[in-house]
Structures are given as C-alpha cells and as structure tokens.
Amino acid sequence: MTRTARTLALALSATIATASPLAAQVSFSRLAAAERDSANWLTYSGSYSGQRFSRLSQVNRTNVAALRPVWLHQLQNTQFMAEATPLVADGVMYVSETMSAVTALDVRTGRTLWRYAPTIPPTTKWIGFLPTSRGVALLDSTVYLATINAHLIALDARSGTVRWDVEVADNKLGYAFTLAPLAIKGKILVGVSGGEAGIRGFIDAYDATTGKLAWRFHTIPGSGEPGNETWGGDSWKTGGGPTWLTGAFDPELNTVYWGVGNPGPDWNGDSRPGDNLYTCSLVALDADTGKLKWFFQFTPHDTHDWDANQIPVLVDATVNGAKRKLVLTANRNAFYYALDRVTGEFIGGRDYAKQTWSTGLDATGKAQVIPGKEPSDSGTLVWPSLQGATNWNSPAYSPRTNLFYVNAREMGSYYYKREAEYEPGNPFMGGGERALENDSASGAVRALEPLTGKMRWEFRHHSPPWAGLMATAGGLVFSGSNEGNFFALDASTGKALWQFQTGGFIRAAPITYMVDGKQRVAIVSNNAVIVFALP
C-alpha cells in the first residue's frame, strides 16, 4: 500500500453545484443505533445487522397502492447499469455510480449538491465483473468511497472535496473495489474484487481520520499459518478469495462478519488440491485486530464460482428454548444456513432453490456432494448456474414477521474445464459456463423461516432477478425486476400490493427515509434514482 500525494489535485475534481446547507454528522453511536433511526438510511444495509429492515410504517399494506414518484435524478455515467444503495443522512442523499463517482442530492427535491468523480485511468482493469460501485459509507462528517482502481478515498460530506486518498492494492494485478465500505468505530473496512485474476484476497481496516492501515486479514493463509495446508504447493499465492461485498458488524461482540469469494482458478481445481480455506466461507473477525475468531466454509474446493460474498444477516432468536445470536445467509450454492454467530456452529439449513450437486446438508452443515458434478471438457450440467441461486443482491429480514427474504435465481449451466496458467493481471479462470437462459430460467422472492430455511411463500419473477430487497414495519417487502417493475409485497403472504414500471433494469436495492414528516421510498433503476411517496 502506498499513500498518494494526489489529494490536492483530486480535490479540484469535485464539482460543487452549490454548497449544501446541511452536513451529515454520523457518529459511530448513531451508526450503532441505526435500527432506531428510521428517518435516515445511514449504512449500506440500513444497519450493522444487515437486516435491511425499516421501522417506518407510514407506507403500509392499506395505502401502498397510492405510492407515486415525487422526483427522479439521472446519474451521469450511463455506460453500465448502476447497482448502488443510496445513503440518507440529515437531508442529504449520497449515491454512487459506475466508474466510482458519487453525488450528493437534496432528499426533498433531488437537486444536486455536489458531485465527485475520481480520475480513473483508461488502463484500469476489472476482470470478471463490471466497474460498478454499490455504495459509500458515512462516518462523522466524511463520505468514504472505494474505487474501481483500488483506492479508498475520504470526502468532505459538505462539499465532496478530498480529505485523503489511499491506494490499497495494485490494480495492474486485478485488484479493484466494487463494494460500499463499512464504517465502524474509528475504522473504515473494505474488501477487494478480483477473484478471476488470481489475486490473494483480504479484508482491510483503515484509520478513518488518516487513512493509515490498521489491520489486514488475508482470506488465504500464508505459508506456516493454519489453513495453508488446504492448498497444494504455491497455489495459495494466486488462490483468489475476494471479499467484494460489505460485511455485517455486531458492536456488542465487537465482531465483523464478512463473506469470502471463490478460489482461483475458478473452474479447474487441479492445481489447488484441498478445501482451499477460507474461500467460499463466512469469516468472523475481531474488529480491533482483524484476528480470526471462527469460520464456516459453505463450498470446500469450489469449482463452480459459488462465492460466499452474500450479505450476512444478524438475528437474535430462541433455539430449543435458549436465546442465541445467529447469523443467517442464503448462499450462492443454493443452500440456506443459520449459524451461531458467537461460535460459528451450524443451527439449521436446507436448499432454497434448485440444485443438483448435493444430496443435502449433514448435521454439521456440510453439503454432501454428488460425484460427477465437476466441470469437464465437454460440459457438465449443474444447477445453480455460476451466477448462483442468489448473488450480491441483498436479502432482508423482518423482526415483525420473523421471515428471511431472498431473491432466488433458478438457472442451470454447463460448466467447462480448461487449462489455466497464471499471468499477472490477466484472467485466471480455467474454464467457463454456458448458461441455460431459456424459458425455464426464472426466479422468485422467497420468504424463509429463519431457523430452518423452510419456504413460507414465494412471489415469482419472469427471469432470474438481480435486485435487492427491503422489509418495513408497514408489513411490506419492496424489490424490483429485470423487466423494470418496482413493487411491494405483503410481507406475511407475498401478495402483490403495488408496482411501478420504471422503464429500466433494476439491479439495486431499495431504501426508505423520512423528510418533512413524509415517508419516502427510493430505488436506483438502470441509471436513475427514483423516489416515491404517498400523495
């Protein structure tokens, strides 16, 4: 890591349309209590728990049919579709877009307050993914932005001017950022993309004031470290393990929960015999030091690109008469898992979408693998596809219904195996897939029981969805479709109650907030932020 000396120059690239009359002051204590601050949306998942649940109920089952748009803001970068979750704090909305730009908007009208667009060199690499930015983080009076060329940048929340800029990793080797950072007490946490480029993944924590590295956790253990024996030879050095989605945080346990992606090369595991820890795992880390507390690996020795980067959801529940702290996740491999978040113990789970690679989970949560499902020269048909039974699109949990909601994808693929030779900064995949994108490919919003993953209801999609979810105390679940419909369902039954055709592919997750006593609901569709309210 090197500290750049570009701060002053980059500050000039912030386009200040007009000075904001408001300046977010989002302290750590506010973030820790974000679940009770329903007027704002302060962090990527709405709160540290990852539940994407709002206590707002002004918009509810009885009146949601009257919801209508009140303003729209068109993002400037339109070459790729936006996937951002906006943040809202004290009258200002902060929304990122592709190529790592961020804009501050007046939440009442959508008027631009400032826009910052970093200089992204034309040689910047994004191998195996799009140059998206899924959001920013707020802490005190600073906005934190992770960029496609692997920089972490701190911006003044009032003006968008640069406070510091750190180069986290070498983009020439395939390292990049697509996630929203996670702000905790005095630290900014980030994870890297690049699992198709032979990187060695990590999770970093930086001092929020100075940008100095506080700790780094490598997702692939180095030589002599526990877990390194699960790799053959030097394969760990280029073994992948990206960390490209935002984790969850339990302030009481002082523990960060973060998903880890696929091993490399993706579809040819011959050079990396063993379980390949900690790829395709959930890791629990001490927030002060980054030290590993426990891990749970969902797909040992993965050869189907089934990253475990899905957003962890923290829930407290009663299990066999005892109060337990749980972490819930619907994995890309088509299985749902409930784990004890203190110990990592498996509590329950089952498949929640079509899968043809396993007979089920054993008592420890380990999937029982069916032989012959590995990628092959002629292609091996397996469900789910490499894009998974779910992907990066966020789930939600409602404490009112006690249901876990996931946008499930139903699609299979022929998986192919090819030779793979590592070349720095180039694709390192060892094969590919041919997806069955025909009429049988579909999807659904599914409501699952949190302890077992048993489905309570589903709402069918026309095609495998990419949108995230949000649940509210109004008894609603909001989401979107590839066909452009933004909709609300009854959280208890799945009945469709409202929809609006946005005209754009929806690959983002909704949020909600209050302004002037009115609840508003927002979604990014294609490259437009659309905000809705009751009349």
Q: Provide the annotated active-site residues.
A: 305
328/111 Cα distance (integer angstroms): 38
**CB contact set of 98 (below 8 Å; sequence gap of 6+):** 77, 79, 80, 81, 82, 130, 131, 132, 133, 527
Name the pairing type of β-strands 528-533 and 68-74. Answer: antiparallel
| Closest to 446 measured CA to CA, from 361, 334, 532, 355 | 334
130/133 Cα distance (integer angstroms): 9
301/280 Cα distance (integer angstroms): 8
Which residue is associated with the tokens 């253990």? 221
- Token pair recorded at residue 163: 């406070």
- Token pair recorded at residue 454: 């048993």
**Residue 523 phi, psi (nearest 5):** -145, 150
508/106 Cα distance (integer angstroms): 20
Q: DSSP character for 240?
A: B
| Closest to 309 measured CA to CA, from 129, 138, 118 | 129
**Residue 9 phi, psi (nearest 5):** -65, -40
For the residues of 243-305, what is the DSSP string, one character each?
--S--EEETTTTEEEEE---BSSSS--TTS-S--TTTTEEEEEETTT--EEEEEESSTT--S-
Which ranges of 141-241 would DSSP assign to H, the alpha helix? none
Beta bridge pairs of residue 514: 519
458/54 Cα distance (integer angstroms): 21
With beta carbons less than 8 A apart as the criterion, state whether 436 and 402 touch.
no
160/113 Cα distance (integer angstroms): 9
386/308 Cα distance (integer angstroms): 12
